[in-house]
Structure 1
Amino acid sequence: MAALSYVVTSACAGCGACLLTCPEHAIRPGPGGALIVLGSRCTRCGECAEVCPVDAVAEVPA
């Protein structure tokens, strides 16, 4: 089975729900206001994807 990672897509509305929910503080503001997932901190719990109101957090192959 391939390892999965999470990314915040361009569909992000900037509400910050994922940033506030992440138990590992693995989501940070990036350039131009985008949110980025820090793969080294992410434990792949999926809480960010569950809380996103616009489904902008996606699982991708690592």
Structure 2
Amino acid sequence: MAALTVTAACTACGACLLTCPTHALIPDAGRLRVRDDRCTRCGECVEICPADAIRLADDTAGHDGDTDPEETR
């Protein structure tokens, strides 16, 4: 399964928040957090992001829960 990550390139424009059909992206202290339990890895946010700051990658770590944007910096 692919993991969704938000990189430091994020400008917090909010385009992904409006696009995500499952509301998996949540603003948290000026950053975005991915709710892995809601994310279906549809890629809508990846396509809409003007800063190209959202990535889908193979989840080789097998993490669960929420993805902290600090992990990608």
Please tell me the TM-score bracket, short chain as reference. Answer: 0.7 to 0.9
Contact 2:41/2:56 (8 A) holds in 1: no
Pairing partner for 1:36 from 28, 33, 41: 33
- Structure 2, unaligned runs of 5 or more: 60-73
Alignment coverage as a number of residue pairs: 59
- Structure 1, unaligned runs of 5 or more: none
Residue identity (%)? 54
**Cα RMSD over matched residues?**
0.9
> What does residue 5 of structure 1 align with?
3
TM-score (norm 1): 0.88
> Secondary structure of 2:17's match?
helix
Q: Counterparts of 1:26 and 1:34 in 2: how far apart (Å)?
A: 13
TM-score (norm 2): 0.75
1:54 aligns with 2:51: yes
Structure 1 segments, 4+ long, off by >4 Å, are none
